[in-house]
């Protein structure tokens, strides 16, 4: 691990956009806070995992599951180096620019270059990196039909559904229960779209974690002694465009990210 000698050295690692996603007003303020030990480097979502690991020691694979995930990610990156970017862009709804293949993830650019390096406007972590790579490498690129199905109805979804409810739908429901702004905030921050209520829900919002893998979140408010509920729905083509493990990762990852943002700043503050 390389220990930065002063705040300027940390500042030089940052992208200097002053985007405030870390909760500090400027990159310089964040660098100072990291140097003083009040903040940690991995709280800047713009930094790639390698830099965080090199300068803070965080992010290293610490257990066999992490090591396995990291090995899988490396394998996908190696395969991506041999990918025909033009063909993949056409198939996946992405584009090729400056030698990079870019697709929109939640409205933000996420790219890979010919060296297998991931470049993104959002935090690159395994829940988003592996599905992105799997999508561009193996996705069939079938256009969504608009027929929404629950996770358990996707191929291979039934066995994982109890865990999907626990990791994804339950934490998201708690957020929706506790914040009246939850849906407005995710629409604002992640280029979501409110659509006509589906399945008699009170709110239905569609997000695009990948261009051809939309997710619809439906929420039913508590009523007449009945508890509220929240479910995620996927286009029926989701399992053609992405393996089921990656679909799971996207749902669970979204839930984790919303929870983290809500706890850290409240959604509205984080977006400002």
Distance between CA atoms of 170 and 258, rounded to whole angstroms? Answer: 12
Tell me if 21 contacts ligand SF4 by CB under 6 A. yes
Q: Which helix (H) or strand (E) holds 251?
A: helix 244-264
To ligand SF4, the closest distance from the beta carbon of 93 in angstroms equals 27
- From 39-47, 60-68, 146-154, 212-220, span contacting ligand SF4 (CB under 6 A): 39-47
What six digits make up the tokens of 22? 């870390």
Q: Is 24 in the site for ligand SF4 (CB under 6 A)?
A: yes
- Does position 235 interact with ligand SF4 (CB under 6 A)? The reply is no
| SS3 of residue 172 by DSSP | helix
Residue ranges in 45-74 that form contacts with ligand SF4 under rule CB under 6 A: 45-46
66, β-bridge pairs? none
Residue 267 interacts with ligand SF4 (CB under 6 A): yes or no: no
Q: Binding ligand SF4 by CB under 6 A: which of 12, 15, 114, 181? A: 15
Is the Cα dihedral 259, 262, 265, 271 positive or negative? positive
Ramachandran region, residue 208 (left: φ > 0; alpha: ψ -120 to 50; beta: rest): beta
Q: Decide: is 91 part of the binding site for ligand SF4 (CB under 6 A).
A: no
Stretch touching ligand SF4 by CB under 6 A, among 20-28, 67-75, 143-151, 243-251: 20-28
Report the DSSP pairing between strands 193-194 and 213-220: unpaired
27 binds ligand SF4 (CB under 6 A): yes
Q: Shortest gap between Cβ of 265 and ligand SF4 (angstroms)?
A: 11
Instruction: Take residue 18 and report the two structure tokens written for it.
Output: 């002053």
The single-letter DSSP state of residue 42 is G
Residue closer to ligand SF4 by CB (options 123, 173) is: 123
**Single residue of 4, 7, 9, 19 touching ligand SF4 by CB under 6 A:** 19
Q: Does 40 bind ligand SF4 (CB under 6 A)?
A: no
Between residues 7 and 19, which has the closer beta carbon with respect to ligand SF4? Answer: 19
Q: Phi and psi for 224 in degrees, rounded to 5?
A: 45, 50
Give the separation between CA 29 and CA 35, rounded to whole angstroms: 10
Tell me the closest approach of the beta carbon of residue 144 to ligand SF4, in angstroms: 32
> Which tokens hold the place of 127?
């829940």
Give the binding site for ligand SF4 (CB under 6 A).
Answer: 14-15, 17-22, 24, 27, 30, 44-46
């Amino acid at each position: 691990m390389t220990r930065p000698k002063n705040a300027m050295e940390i500042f030089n690692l940052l992208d200097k956009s002053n985007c405030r996603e870390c909760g500090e007003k400027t990159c310089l303020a964040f660098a100072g806070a990291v140097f003083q030990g009040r903040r940690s480097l991995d709280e800047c979502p713009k930094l790639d995992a390698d830099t965080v690991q090199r300068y803070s020691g965080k992010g290293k694979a610490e257990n066999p599951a992490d090591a396995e995930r990291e090995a899988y990610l490396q394998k996908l990156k190696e395969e991506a180096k041999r990918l025909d970017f033009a063909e993949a862009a056409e198939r996946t709804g992405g584009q090729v620019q400056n030698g990079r293949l870019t697709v929109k993830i939640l409205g933000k650019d996420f790219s890979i270059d010919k060296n297998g390096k991931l470049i993104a406007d959002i935090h690159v972590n395994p829940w988003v990196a592996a599905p992105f790579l799997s999508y561009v490498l193996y996705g069939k690129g079938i256009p969504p039909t608009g027929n929404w199905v629950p996770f358990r109805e996707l191929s291979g979804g039934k066995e994982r559904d109890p865990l999907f409810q626990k990791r994804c739908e339950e934490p998201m429901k708690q957020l929706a229960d506790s914040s009246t702004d939850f849906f407005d905030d995710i629409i604002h921050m992640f280029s979501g779209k409110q659509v006509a209520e589906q399945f008699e829900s009170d709110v239905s919002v569609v997000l695009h974690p990948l261009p051809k893998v939309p997710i619809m979140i439906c929420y039913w408010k508590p009523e007449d002694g009945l508890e509220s509920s929240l479910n995620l729905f996927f286009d029926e083509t989701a399992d053609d465009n992405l393996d089921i493990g990656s679909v799971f990762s996207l749902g669970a990852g979204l839930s984790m990210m919303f929870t983290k943002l809500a706890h850290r700043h409240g959604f509205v503050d984080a977006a400002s």
